[in-house]
Amino acid sequence: MPLSVALIEELAQSLVEAECSRGTIDTLSSRYPGLDEADAYAIARARLRRRRHARTGYKLGYTSAAMRRQMNIEHPNYGVLTADMVIEGGTIAFNTLIHPLVEPEIAIALGRDLAGGGHDRNSVLAAAPLFMAAIEVCDTRYHEYRFKAVDNIADNSSAARYVLGTPMPVTTGCDLRTLAAELWIDDQLTDQGVGANALDDPLLAVAWLANRLHAEGTTLKAGEVVLTGGLTRGYLVRRGQQIRSRLAGAGDAALLFS
């Protein structure tokens, strides 16, 4: 049975309060075992309305098989990026987050809107995409990184912060599927992946998102950033650590937790 509008708003407010106070709450599914995906996305939308920040793009969650195994989640999902999540200057205060977890990613921004449905790799390429190295900082508002998919969706796919490298065009000879990615923590190579870890191809990940948004009556707009998903497992970080996401021959993104 779907949750009432009042309960959806109440649960959204509990997530907002947890984020603002840097506290944590019990998973929603532990309190409401019947919580389904539609309700979870409704909670996420209500939460975003309460936060009142402009949308800057989207993040895809669990496009990597490694991340799905790590979190025991079966399918990808998406969250919304907002202006307050952009890290300017490459530094973020550690104490503004609860339990930050970092992932190296390929970010994509389109040169044209991706309207309608039925999108594939070719239609994404036709939208003049730019790509760049990225670091996503996840931060669940639950007690720990143990939750069901619906909990993660309601929590806006654990979206918290992100930092981007220098954008580059996706040219004909550029195959993001084979692009090697490295995650460095404090000058130590911590993990490696390839672009294909994001739903087999970051461009297909963008197509998946555009099709999903179209089904919900929304269009992926030109200039909106899409974090196409972690290319390795996620790593919890500590205050003072330096993080770097490096794409072979395509630059990097760096972040310091101060």
- Would you say residue 90 lies in a domain? yes
Query: What rounded mean pLDDT belongs to the chain?
Result: 94
Instruction: Yes or no: say if 15 and 25 are a contact pair by the CB < 8 Å rule.
Output: yes
pTM for the full model?
0.95
E strand intervals along 74-124 = 77-82, 91-92, 101-109
- Would you say residue 18 lies in a domain? no
Range of the domain at 129: 55-257
- Would you say residue 17 lies in a domain? no
pLDDT digits (tens, 9 = 90+) for 133-156: 999 999 999 999 999 999 999 999
- Would you say residue 13 lies in a domain? no
Name 225's bridge partners: 57, 109
- Would you say residue 2 lies in a domain? no
CATH number, domain with residue 183? 3.90.850.10
* Alpha-carbon span 128 to 206, nearest angstrom: 12
Given this model, what pLDDT does residue 50 score? Answer: 92
Q: Tell me the residue type at 91.
A: T
State mean pLDDT over 184-211.
Answer: 96
- Would you say residue 36 lies in a domain? no
Instruction: Yes or no: say if 16 and 46 are a contact pair by the CB < 8 Å rule.
Output: no
- Would you say residue 4 lies in a domain? no
Residue 66 has pLDDT above 80, yes or no: no
Given this model, what pLDDT does residue 249 score? Answer: 85
Residue 245 has pLDDT above 70, yes or no: yes
Q: What are phi and psi of 94, to 5 degrees?
A: -60, -35
CB atoms within 10 A of CB 2: 12
Please give the tally of structural domains in the chain.
1
Residue 1 has pLDDT above 80, yes or no: no
Q: What are the residue ranges of helices labelled H in the chain?
A: 5-21, 28-31, 37-51, 65-71, 121-125, 149-154, 202-215
